Amino acid sequence: MFGKSIKDVWSSLAVYYKKDSGNYWDSITPCCINNSPEKLSRYYLDFTSKAYYPECFDKNGIPWYQNYYHPIVICQYALGLYELLFKSNFSDLNSKEKYLKQSEWLINNFVKVNGRVTWPVEKKISGYGLEKPWSSALTQGETISVLLRAYSLTNNISFLNIAEKALELFELDVAESGIKNKFGGFTVYEEYPTLKTNFVLNGFIFSLFGLYDFILLNKNPKAKTLFEEGVKTLENLLPLFDTGYWSQYNLYYHPGKYLASYKYHLLHAEQLKALYFLTGKEIFLGYSNRWSSYGNSFYTKTFALIKKIIGRNIVRE
């Protein structure tokens, strides 16, 4: 995220050499599946660390981030709670209650943009020229993931209905306040919906996870089409993210390079591992293994860190 404090920047640097030294925002969320899931259940990354939100909550137990409700923060907190619930074999009633509170907040606090349901981010992002509010494919995908699991827990049709409506924004172009863009003729679901295609890799993959949740739940045909289109994009464009020693955070500066931070680099590898289990496509496992090896090499991660410092882009993710 943009606008990190000095303390947060230090945390981002420290994790290069000690993975568990990062703060809440730089915690690692590893792939936690090892086969293709048959039904909707556990999330694909272990978000346990996100269950321990360190900042303020409102009176209803909803995270309060920098004086506003940030939908991504709420969703990731919820997915952390769901992981605790899963690990307790669904006996942790405290985590379940908190999880459902986040889910209820989501179905009670959406807005409509051009008739489509979304949860806008109320923060200006000067680096991308984004004025608040703006919608995000990351938000849409993670919200779908939260709501569909809430539906599975409760059979409350309201969760399913709003999740279905959240799919519609994937079909709306960025130029019309949607989240769909094009890069080289391929469809991109944008975490940051800039007119110039941004293509933030981690946000794109999180949006695919939400679409895949629908496939597992009820084989939703719209979600299936959107997911398959996104997978096709990755199969063709993933090589552009590989610099030969590190992964790129986005393609906004293409053909220039914008290296991922260590946290995001590892996240890319873990996301691609999960995506391999969801699709069976070897290209995702290949890049996951390659990028994991980059991250485990003292030389490559130091080289990547130096390149980021020289490029002055440490605080811009």
pLDDT in tens, 147-172: 999 999 999 999 999 999 999 999 99
Residue 20 pLDDT? 73
124 — pLDDT class (breaks 50, 70, 90): very high
Residue 89 pLDDT > 50, yes or no?
Answer: yes
Residue 32 CB neighbours (<10 A)? 18
Mean pLDDT (whole number) for 190-203: 97
The top-level CATH class assigned to 28-258 is: mainly alpha
Residue for token pair 């048959």: 38
Residue 312 pLDDT? 59
Question: Domain locations in the chain?
Answer: 28-258
Residue 79 pLDDT? 98
Residue 221 pLDDT? 98
What's the pTM?
0.94
Residue 186 CB neighbours (<10 A)? 17
Distances (CA, A) of 96 to 25, 102, 149, 172: 23, 10, 11, 34
Residue 1 pLDDT > 60, yes or no?
Answer: no
Report how far apart the first and last C-alpha atoms of the chain are (Å, whole number).
4
Residue 21 pLDDT > 70, yes or no?
Answer: no
More reliable by pLDDT, 10 or 223: 223
Residue 97 pLDDT? 98
